[in-house]
Homo-oligomer: A and B are copies of this chain.
Amino acid sequence: MTTPPDVSAAIDPDKLDRLAEVAVKVGLRLERGQDLFLTAPIAALPLVRRIAAHAYAAGAGLVTPLFSDEEVTLARYRHAPAESFDRAPAWLYEGVAKAFSANTARLAIVGDNPMLLSGEDPQKVSRANKANALAYQPALEKIAGFDINWNIVAYPGTAWARQVFPDLGEAEAVGKLAEAIFAASRVDVADPVGAWAAHNAELKRRTQWLNAQRFDALHYVGPGTDLVIGLADDHEWQGGASTAKNGITCNPNIPTEEVFTTPHARRVEGHVASTKPLSYQGTLIDDIAVRFEGGRIVEARARRGEDVLQKVLDTDDGARRLGEVALVPHSSPISKGGLLFYNTLFDENAACHIALGQCYSKCFLDGASLSPDEIAAKGGNKSLIHIDWMIGSGTLDIDGLRPDGSRVPVFRAGEWAA
């Protein structure tokens, strides 16, 4: 047994503590007496401990962490009989769903090795994922339905850090990824909780303005891009803090920079070029260029990873249509860092993006009350996939188009126009 060097010493302990504080006070806005269920890779233990301390200090009833270990996961792929890959801990997930029903808050720490299973039998991986997704369904419904306050934050796991900084040593890579996470999560300032209040207010101001405009479409112009994205009927812009059904206003994602809504699946015309590489299940897809007609991608190229892109587009009809349109200024901290994180939680907040595939029902006025058919009739897209890719840059202009044909500047040179 060789024991790897402890790399957590490379992580600034004060900023880690502030990340924990932000996760509890901003991400979850945990209420006194609320229990907290959290999941984390064992490597994230230093963050879990700080989160537990902040959660209890905020009046938590009970903090219950569930740790995962990559070696235990791999042991299954290496040693388990074939029939193991259809099993999932239904008893555990049913319990989690019960905890959510009793108003337990939910925190997830991400930071695993993104390539952990890349060498394993894809059949086994997909069977295990399917069994797990099925068993997790009762709990996921309560998260997707926003029954309770929940939050995702990141911890710089070693394998992830080495993927982001392949030329650095282990400890240095972890230290640098940690700093990038801290900056993106806005905890590298004196008063992170105050900074988040200001940031949330700014995002709210943007969504309110956009919702008041009631644009019919957005017109994107930039290098390689001339695209009109129709917006869904009764679309609603969202962003920043939002209120769960239990009445708690939380920030599900730390970081978050985007304001986003639902495009119209049948009203997208023109061409668009990606501005950052897209990391999809271990493959890098770069320099994407696609052309839309009637909302559907009718032509697609990529300088790198085009075969994977074509496979993705062939998933189902909705995979060729848009499910999300999101605005992020070029000056956002994640964009300024210029780093590819290989993780959507960060990368989708680096630039204006669009997503192929499934739309969010919450991005409609009174979205919770709409049936799938009603959502489809309003222009909401449906697909098994939801893949965000970046089309923003410092040279992107966006106009809002009113139903009467008049234009309102929304972005100029990658920044909010007003």
Contact = CB atoms under 8 A, between A and B. Distances in A.
Interface stretch (A75-83, A204-212, A322-330): A75-83
A13 B2 CA distance: 9
A172 to B, nearest CB: 16
Nearest to A65: B72
A65 B83 CA distance: 19
B69 A89 contact: no
Contact of A45 (B69, B81, B88): B69
B45 A61 contact: no
Interface in A35-55: 35, 42, 45-46, 48-49, 52-53
Contacts of A33: 81, 83
A402 interface: no
Given A65-B72, A66-B66, A88-B62, A79 B53 contact: yes
A57 interface: yes
A61 B8 CA distance: 34
Nearest to A16: B1
Contacts of A11: 1
Given A1-B8, A9-B3, A13-B1, A92 B64 contact: yes
A60 B78 CA distance: 12
Contacts of A45: 42, 69
B62 A75 contact: no
Interface stretch (A94-102, A161-169, A346-354): A94-102
A6 interface: yes
Contacts of A87: 35, 61-62
Contact of A52 (B16, B76, B92): B76
B75 A56 contact: yes
A83 to B, nearest CB: 7
A224 interface: no
A373 interface: no
A369 interface: no
A76 B63 contact: yes
Contacts of A66: 66
A102 B11 CA distance: 43
Contacts of A16: 1
A80 B94 contact: no
A14 to B, nearest CB: 9
A336 B331 CA distance: 71
Contacts of A48: 69, 72
A121 interface: no
Contacts of A6: 3, 6
A91 B84 contact: no
Given A49-B71, A56-B78, A81-B32, A64 B89 contact: yes
Given A1-B8, A32-B81, A92 B95 contact: yes
3 tightest A-B CB contacts, nearest first: A95-B95, A56-B79, A56-B80
6 contacts: A1-B8, A1-B13, A48-B72, A91-B95, A92-B95, A95-B98
